[in-house]
Structure 1
Amino acid sequence: MTTFKKPNLRLWHKTAIFCLALSLISWGKYGHEHINRAVVMSLPQPMQSFFYNHIDFFTTEANLPDVRKYTIGDTAEFPRHHIHLEAYGNYDEIPRSTKDAKTKYGAKFLTTHGILPWYIQDMMAKLTAAFKGKHKSDILLLSADLGHYIGDAYMPLHTSENHNGQLTNQKGIHGLFEAQLPELFGNTYNYNAGSPRFIDDVQKETWRIVKASNSTADTLLQVDRDLVKQFGGSNVYEMENGKVKVNMYSDVIHTAEYSKAYHTKLNGMVERQLRGAIASTASFIYTAWVNAGKPDLTDLDNTELTQRNATNLMHDRVLFKSGKLFGLKSEKEF
């Protein structure tokens, strides 16, 4: 692969401590919160009224796996967010079930190279059981977590060893794609990804998502390499006191000019991946509910609460038809 030399590389390396981690916050707070909020608006009745009663919780909890990962430091959380497909060899020979994966690779290998698709399957089994038992708190928390991990599966670099462009001298590409671009251009996206569908084979669908996402990773990396050449290595990063500027997570900040050019060259990729995450999360949650026997969720909340929210839900549905979401202000990272 073609490589390039970035400006002030020595200074940049001193500040870019993030490169030692697998990633920062997948899809950023902006992306994960928009995915989960759109999921609620995508669900069919009678599920939707229940989830709408808790839409703010469901939206905020989209970031909980990253809070466990980085703020709390839960080491068990780290491998759940990614999978290095290259490390597992031939795609067709990768075990599709968690049990078979543990037998073939062992715990250390899985912890190092990620368990994302297997963990999604495990979460689906737990969510289905929660729906069957009508355990309100479990349903909400597991569904919100599921939205996060499916979102991660749709972030192409979460499926690759070159997760932050570190193998091709493109460190910082991760944060640019998943957080800075959505923050800059997400208000132009259409978050209405259609109605959920029943998934006949959850295991097969999970691996389809991962493979399809991984197939776009080389493209987003190549577009960045080509564009940096066009920019001549200058005006790619925000500079401060002669150093590349970083955000609160030590992630490098790209200039508005470069970000806009990169977003344009990607030709809608960021929006497509976000919409895919919305559609799949809604379909997975819907499938868990159907597989649980379509339990009635209306009695899990106070009737007055549902009635009071009915008018707002009606208005939000109208807005969502145009692809917009109401009342969402995500914390900025860039």
Structure 2
Amino acid sequence: MRHFILIILLFLPELAFTWGSTGHKIINRRATRNLPESMSIFQADSLYYEAHASDADNRRDYNDLSLYAEQWRHYIDIDDYPNFQNLPKDLNVLISIYGLTRVKENGTNPWAVIWFLDSLTAQLARNDLEKVKQTASDIGHYIADGFQPLHCTVNYNGQLTGNDGIHSRYETTMLNTFQSQISTQVSDIQYITSPIDYVFDYIIYSNSLVDSILQADNYAKAVSGWSGSGTAPSTYYNALWDKTKNLTIAAFQKATTTLASFWYTAYINSGKLQILPNPAQINFANIPLGSSVTDSVIIKNTTAEELILNVVNPDTQNFQIVPSYAVIPKGVSQKFYVNFNPSRVSTFSENIIFNHNLHIPPIYLDVQGSSYQRTFTINQNTINFSNLFVGDIRKDSVIINNTSGTNLNVFIINPDTLNFNVNPINLSIPAESSDKFYIIFHPKIESSFNLQFMVNHNLGTDVVTFNVTGNSIIYRINFSTKNDWNLISIPLKTFDSTVTSLFSNSLMDYFYSYGESGYKTEYILKNGIGYWAKFSQSQIVQIPGIPLYTDTLELNAGWNMIGSVSGDIPIQSLFTEPPDLMLSNFYGYDGFYFIADTLRSGSAYWVKANSKGQLILNSFSNNKRGLNINSTPLNPPPPPGISEEIVKNYILHQNYPNPFNPITHINYYLPEPANVRLTIYDLLGKEIITLFNGWQEGGKKSVEFDGSNLPAGVYFCKLKVSGETGYTSVIKMVLVK
């Protein structure tokens, strides 16, 4: 039978190229795509592996009949052996059972792969890169042979089943025709712990596909009508590819992955693949006892497998590393933090070991450091001022303990003198004494701060530092101005207090304040004072500044127009000096005067005092003393140039919102107590509902109207006041749904 093989090879030279030259080139070239970046020397030589993919075929010498002859390395007729799934894998054992002639003529492909794996490993170890290229090409050829099913059977050419010539038709002609359809994907590779077992596994797998190829041959003949004599038509090869395409592409995929795995295994076994931390050494230099310093190291998984690290730290008392366990996917980096926290005055040097799951040496990190006894300490290394409004001030202190036996002179270096102050900046501290300095945070800009202050001194060369952090934000208040006259105040410390800067939408470049001599024009606005301001339209005005939560207002006898602070204050939380000062109600303005129960931030109010005194505003006050208020209704002065009728008229305001769905609010003003009827009508004048009917005290009123049960449309609200003066007013409302 072996003699028969030699005759076939001599008379059918195309059989000398297993998978055909094209197939071997594809496998050798594409295998490099699966390699990790650490095997760049293989990736760089991919064109060499392609060009020399069939060199092994060209070395065949059919006169060489020795066990190691080239001709036997390209196949194994594994099914010629009984119970071949359990065939002994030791070549010497196999020869002792079946004899040298039978074993070599049945092919030595599995052992050829192992021989060349060993050679590749040795060549890599001695850095013989020229031989590495040739051996890597050759082992690719032998592995590819093992994935060609017809190289793994005694019926290699279909000669035993009437499929004569199938070997060349399948691996050469068909493959050359359809090579463009052979696609392979980049796949995970692995370190092969038992190469001979791995080879036999894929050879037995290949042998299991032989019958599928023979059946495909019979099918293609039947479909094409070809008898098997002469040249097969294209319809035959189309049918043969249709039936074998999936198993062929799968074989190429497995072959490229397997070849990359064998290269990878040789690379590791040669000691070429090592993972080194970056940096490989951390030197923490000399730090004072009681302090700590942290540095980092990066470990990149340059292998083709998942890297599982367990850190072995021989000196956990002085060095700490996190994380102590990590799972790093291939091609990914992991950062580890090493903290040096010396427990004694000494010099330290350790190797931190990163044990792992791969077949490469452990990873070592050399860490070094030393410590000394500092002659003074500070009580805190970090000051956090949190959040502060621009313009506000906050301070904290740092205590320095001089534990030396001599005088300590320190000088504080401030990296940001615009937003931080140090007081004092110099200290002279006697031996065995302590003193403090203050860090004052007075932000001038809106920003986030993370600064390092330095303590220079006369007792050595080490630098003592502490961190200062904080955030500054600009306080802003929104003013809701309405068309026409508004009573407003400035409830914060502004950066520019001119009217034109704060209220560019004002009709005038001045506001009106009120004093003992009446109204006065003001171009610069002050805290605590109320102002009349006139605007052309309703809008929101935003003003930046520094919050003002407390204020003491000077009151004159008679009417006073007062301001507010940053935060609303209920009237009952105000208090006066003297405590028995008699005040009127507080009057706000919303197109008409109303009695206020709260001083709203940004609004201004009228209040009448029976004599001079002070009114104290405090947003955080919980004053229970109360005020002396005469609740008799009064009419504060009207806006400048406006008749006092403004405070004597009945007013029915337009509902808000309008249109509405389904709820709206109706506001009206009574200058005096009156009998009131508030009624809703539909478009036809039919009364829908009476919202109020009865006697009401004077002042601002508000009624809610719910139109949930009404259809969409136009409605009218009528306010009617009975009495000597009498008053009737109607507004139009639109309900939408």
Give me the TM-score of the superposition, normalised by structure 1. Answer: 0.73
Q: Number of paired residues?
A: 264
Instruction: Within 5 Å, give how 1:1-334 maps onto structure 2.
Output: 23-47=15-39, 49-69=40-60, 76-233=69-226, 244-245=230-231, 254-295=232-273
Give the partner amino acid of 1:37.
R
Amino acid in structure 1 at the alignment position of 2:125: K
Paired residues of 2:75 and 2:151 also in contact (CA < 8 A) = yes
CA contact (8 A) 2:109 2:146 kept: yes
Quick one: which amino acid aligns to residue 118 of structure 1? W
| 1:182–1:74 distance in 2 versus 1, CA, 3 Å | farther
Q: Distance in 1 between matches of 2:13 and 2:93?
A: 28
State the Cα distance separating 1:109 from its structure 2 match.
1.5
Query: Which is strand-richer, 1 or 2?
Result: 2
Q: Deviations over 1:117-153 (max 9, x none)?
A: 1221222122222222222122111111110000000
CA radius of gyration, larger in: 2
C-alpha distance in 2 between matches for 1:22 and 1:83: 18
Over 3 Å counting, the alpha-carbon distance change for 1:295 and 1:123 in structure 2 is same
Q: Contact (CA 8 Å) 1:143, 1:285: kept in 2 or not?
A: yes
Cα contact 2:224–2:233 (8 A) shared by 1:
no
Q: 1:132, 1:295 within 8 Å by CA — same for their partners in 2?
A: no
Task: Give the alignment's TM-score, normalised by structure 2.
Answer: 0.34
Write the distance in 2 (CA, Å) between the matches of 1:22 and 1:90: 31
1:267 Cα offset (Å): 4.3
Equivalent residues of 1:120, 1:150 under 8 A apart: yes
Distance 2:11 2:205 in 1: 25
The Cα of 1:232 is off from its aligned counterpart by 3.3
Structure 1 residues 205 and 23: alpha-carbon distance in aligned structure 2, compared to 1, 3 A threshold:
same
Given that 1:79 and 1:110 are in contact with CA atoms closer than 8 Å, whether structure 2 keeps it comes out as no
**Counterpart-to-counterpart distance in 2, 1:219 and 1:114:** 22
1:274–1:109 CA distance, 2 compared to 1 (3 A) = same
C-alpha distance 193-155 of structure 1, shift in aligned 2 (>3 A)? farther
Q: Give the whole-Å Cα distance in 2 for the aligned partners of 1:122 and 1:101.
A: 17
Name the CA shift for 1:174/1:104 in 2 (closer, same or farther; >3 Å). Answer: same
CA RMSD of aligned residues (A): 2.4
Equivalent residue letter for 1:55: S
Residue 145 of structure 1 aligns to a residue in which SS? Answer: helix
Q: Please tell me whether the aligned partners of residues 27 and 252 of structure 2 are also in contact (alpha carbons under 8 angstroms).
A: yes
Instruction: Return the alpha-carbon distance in structure 2 between the equivalents of residues 80 and 17 of structure 1.
Output: 14
1:41 maps to a residue whose letter is R
Structure holding more helix per residue: 1
Contact kept? 1:65, 1:77, Cα under 8 Å: yes
Change (3 A) 1:52 1:177: same
Separation of aligned partners in 2, 1:161 and 1:22:
18
Q: Report the Cα offset of residue 22 of structure 1.
A: 10
**1:6-60 Cα distance to aligned partner (Å, 9 max, x none):** xxxxxxxxxx98667893310011000111010122211121x212332222111
Percent identical: 29
Aligned equivalents of 1:89, 1:274: Cα separation in 2: 28
Equivalent residue letter for 2:28: N
- Matches of 1:283 and 1:130, distance apart in 2: 17
The one-letter code matched in structure 1 to 2:251 is: Q
- CA shift for structure 1 position 192: 2.5
> Quick one: higher RCO (CA 8 Å, sep 6+), 1 or 2?
1
Q: Return 5+ residue gaps in structure 1 as ranges.
A: 1-15, 238-243, 246-253, 297-334
User: Which sits farther off after the overlay, 284-293 or 87-96?
Assistant: 87-96
**Separation in 1 of the partners of 2:14 and 2:105?**
10
